[in-house]
Structure 1
């Protein structure tokens, strides 16, 4: 059972290889310090933080995010380490909260490698603090324990590190803030300063090769906003799209798969010269990259970041204008001589006029930037390859099975309320490093949609996602399994079944659920053992080495406790060996399991079948509205694409 700790309480740890999961609802920084037998931190080399995320036996996230996974191997720590302190801090960024008072209580859980929670702690009663020691793992008489700490510091990271005895704590705190601000773990680095002609050159991040050559998964949390990768999911689903929060299996590698070179990529194509006084004309693929696909990928995420930051600047300017007007009006009211009469009216009118001028200037700047981004989106969208393109893009009419796996996959669109018609494609890197959860909960539409219709819409969305995954992988390199215990998704699954692209008939009943889960669990076990033993050539010859996707409909119907345990195992361990999970479910339907399934939901990227504002970016924490992929009315493109996939499989991709 999970131990729900209160401040000061401790609990023994059953093993040495652990994962620490953090959910805060808004982007925060997570790090850890190693302490000696007196609990002191001797130097900066004993601190894991976004600028230096890896120490022996310890790895933390490289960016600020709403959810984090910290990997800990207590057996790999130096003998001189007697304490590991988990630190949380608010990033120093414009528009972000100044203290934990503005956030929901952070939740921290210690789990085993199988995802089972050992202990959890909700950090309550935080107020003006901007940094907090959440937990500490400490060695006592040869055994390790976890203690809930919850010690906050109003002076932020510098005060916290000073309290732990670290020399030059202020310098290290500044370095951590700089590392977060520079976005060392973003999929696209911050855009270069724009010259006068507004030309942009975007660069990818440094190549950080992860263990086993795979990027680490992002994290997301149910019950708040969600960052993508770069946005991070925080609401209803275990970040992030383009936005994944790096955790767990190693540092995130955002470079082109298989590309390992220190030579810089060729420069992007130059934009055509603009007429005097006009901004430069946008060009598709104007970011750096080794191929047009990579340049378009980087350009899309540059657009996403540009939209996030220009909107943040506008909102900050409006907040400043509101605050200034309130101060001036309060000053008028504080002086009895100016409360009434012509002088008071004039002062109030002057305050309102200044406010309107400031807001007008901010809006004009925002509209200028949004117009440029909209023009860029109009150029980029038609140039996108199938994996990045919307279903309505004509590129799908010329679809043929690819020969290589693309860099990323489009899961929908994102937009902000300041310009709802400006949609940025939500791209996630391939191979998938976390499962997907298509939320069929009725709360999505505030009870305006019939629950049966919403469940059908969720399953239709899942089929569209699965079809796109099948389409962007080379023939035979992606398999889809379906669990439909009650057969309620027969109509939605018809396109996949009739095209013959499923790995087998949809599994029905408890026996079917058990059979599919047993086969996929066995595959995960075999591949993991082969990798750990360095004996990949010893795998059974009939083992399907293709990437596997399991679609689960109507969870938890048809699932007993053993099946639930296997499902959690697949969610946690499957992505690292090519087994992925797509849940179509309402979380409330599984409420009878209590907190048992919380790790499952947190491990999944929550998507919705209807527009929903549950995503957040990791820079300024905007709430983004996610729009699911929509097939054009009356379009036969899905059927045509699946027919091409089936044909490519029969002919071996020729």
Structure 2
């Protein structure tokens, strides 16, 4: 069973060969230092660091990384050493954040070689510190234990090493920083999720579906929270999506899906129970003083990396908001039905219809109703206050893939070296909790195409004074989504193609063209449509044959193995029957073989094709360029309002990000 440590707490270790997993959400340096029974480090040979990554019984990473895996063999530790300290520091390169108070709280886990977690510690309470002793392993009466330390140093690694009594601490800190600056920050590959027996089984729900989108989703897709499709005012449509993680057994309390759609979905979060985030209390020193909930911490969820932990925390926030809102609505409905029943009993009795007795009974029924509603609202507001506090902490800690376009994290944007776990496509909210926005995350790589609806949709059915406004806004939304995808993929790992048959999207598409992130200008006319679709369908055919034939290594030499995104504007303009069939083929087969589809279209404009295109619309994830309440979860049936993730008016962040993407791509070619 995993021990969740707090500062100063210790836990016995039953194994001597261990791994120490570090997850910080930003590149950090990991160091392991030996010390004697007095806590003194005798020399540089007692320290494993990026420039000397192995020492007796120790092995650390060679570079700064968001995630680390340190190896420790306690049997190989010299007899003179009684402690092993795990030291973390932010790189002193002038670009990375220089204070732990500006990044998400690091998480350190001690595990066995099989990945079974023994103890975990989230390092909270740091502010101006740029180096910290995360935890230490120490001998006590012939046995080894682990202690959560969390001691920070504002003077950085040099001050920390000096405090350990290390001779020439300043020189060693300089050696470490020089070694780190020679290589780019990167992350280690996280191990696969463990089964329920291993204690780290994560259960995923289904992605959002728009109206008429009840088609089967490919198996094995681990998307974000339980979003389902619903036509405004219509019933929620259960999503045919299996549990995507190992060990995700169905929950019998969740209603089963329609016949042919598979078993029920388990939407329970592995660490969150109840209607709101569970209050975490600290022991009170004063007798009789009630414990207060501890402040929320970004990344306070299960996961091997900060990316995964933040993803799961957002998922948990979604679940908490859905559950507490359902409880509030249920309580209000109960109060109203109880009042109706009591008033009905008063009216059914001829003796109480008139006179003071009947008036008193009616007033008592209304008073009980008001009391129940007030109690429900007070509980709901307490839950919302906790969720609001958590959202205020989590939002600033989100990485670019999860962050809003107005987040400061984009100002320090650098092209990543790895694909993130998920991507933010917008926000979700409920009418009773309008102040809380839950990021809508979808897993990467995309397993479904995206449909940006350019029809006249809006909060109330919607209408625009300018007939061209919906289409223009939809293209701008598509460009924002495409830019975010380009920004979170490593350089050269995503290639974008654009089909704009009539050239109607030239204005909104200008940032993609101007910065040079497109390998070719947008395709125009029927000939351009045919050329792009033919090349991409041939690519899918080739990769499909190689993969299904077990000969993926036999692809032609120099074959571009990057993923491709096709943006189609103004569909079905410029599309003949052959092009329509090719588009449907890319929507169905493309995602599994590296080609993804993003359509900007008004469904009514393609009505001439009749039901032929119904499977196409059902296979795509519908998004709107304006807030609309067309999304529903099949879990409790809420109608969620979706808000697209758009670049603030007048902001240059899109230009800044795309320019860096184009420059990084030029360096790799």
Aligned to 1:220: 209
Write out aligned runs for 1:44-59 (5 A).
none
Q: Which whole-Å CA distance do the structure 2 matches of 1:537 and 1:205 have between them?
A: 30
> Are the aligned partners of 2:205 and 2:224 in contact in 1 as well (CA < 8 Å)?
no
- Indicate the structure whose relative CO is greater, using CA pairs within 8 Å and at least 6 residues apart: 1
**Residue in structure 1 matched with residue 244 of structure 2 by the alignment:** 252
- The separation in 2 between residues aligned to 1:534 and 1:424, in whole angstroms, is 42
The equivalences for 1:56-135 within 5 A come to none
C-alpha change, 1:292 and 1:411, in structure 2 (3 Å) is same
Corresponding position of 1:392: 406
Selected match of 2:616 from 581, 600, 616: 600
DSSP-derived class of the 2:485 partner: helix
- 8 Å CA contact 1:235–1:615 kept in 2: the answer is yes
1:508 corresponds to: 524
Structure 2 unaligned regions, length at least 5 = 1-191, 198-203, 218-222, 248-269, 272-278, 285-289
- State the Cα deviation string for residues 580-638 of structure 1 (Å, max 9, x = none): 11010111111111111110000000111000001122321111000101222311000
Quote the offset at 1:230 in angstroms. Answer: 2.1
* Pairwise CA distance, 1:219: 7.4
Structure 1 unmatched ranges of 5 or more = 1-202, 209-214, 238-242, 256-263
Q: Distance in 1 between matches of 2:214 and 2:642?
A: 11
| 2-structure distance, mates of 1:624, 1:490 | 33
Counterpart CA distance in 2 for 1:527 and 1:362 is: 56
Q: Distance in 2 between matches of 1:401 and 1:486?
A: 33
Out of 463, 473, 476, the residue aligned to residue 448 of structure 1 is: 463
The answer for the alignment partner of 2:476 in structure 1 is 460
Structure 1 residue 427 corresponds to structure 2 residue 441: yes
**For each residue in 1:362-406, what CA deviation from the matched residue of structure 2 results, as whole angstroms up to 9, or x when unmatched?**
110000000000000000000001100000110000000000000
Separation in structure 2 between the aligned mates of residue 336 and residue 356 of structure 1, nearest angstrom: 26
Aligned: 1:230 with 2:229: no
**Length-normalised TM-score, structure 2:** 0.60
Question: Offset at 1:652?
Answer: 2.2
Q: What secondary structure, in the 3-state scheme, does the structure 2 residue paired with 1:422 have?
A: strand
- Count of aligned pairs between the two proteins: 426
Is 2:460 the counterpart of 1:471? no
User: SS in structure 1 opposite 2:527?
Assistant: helix
> Which of 600, 603, 615 matches 2:631?
615
Q: Secondary structure of the equivalent of 1:633?
A: coil
Q: Does 1:306 align with 2:320?
A: yes
Show CA shifts across 1:129-168 (max 9, x none).
xxxxxxxxxxxxxxxxxxxxxxxxxxxxxxxxxxxxxxxx
1:1-16 paired onto structure 2 within 5 Å: none
2:504 matched residue in structure 1: 488
SS in 1 for 2:427: strand
Whether the aligned pair in 1 keeps the contact of 2:207 and 2:224 (CA below 8 Å) is yes
In 2, Cα distance between equivalents of 1:246 and 1:387: 26
Task: Verify the 8 A CA contact 1:332 1:338 in the aligned structure 2.
Answer: yes
**Alpha-carbon separation, structure 2, partners of 1:344 and 1:224:** 52
1:534 is matched with 550
- Take 1:646 and 1:364, find their aligned partners in 2: how far apart are those partners? 52
1:293 positional shift: 1.3
Distance in 1 (alpha carbons) for counterparts of 2:634 and 2:211: 16
Provide the secondary structure at the position in 1 that maps to 2:658: helix
Q: Secondary structure of the equivalent of 2:416?
A: coil
**Deviation of the 1:223 alpha carbon:** 4.2
> 1:207, 1:253 within 8 Å by CA — same for their partners in 2?
no
Larger displacement relative to structure 2 (452-461 or 438-447)? 438-447
1:338 aligns with 2:352: yes
> RMSD between aligned alpha carbons?
2.9
Matched residue, 1:273? 282
C-alpha contact 1:231 1:244 (8 A) present in aligned 2: no
Q: 1:447 to 1:386 in 2, by over 3 A?
A: closer
TM-score (norm 1): 0.62
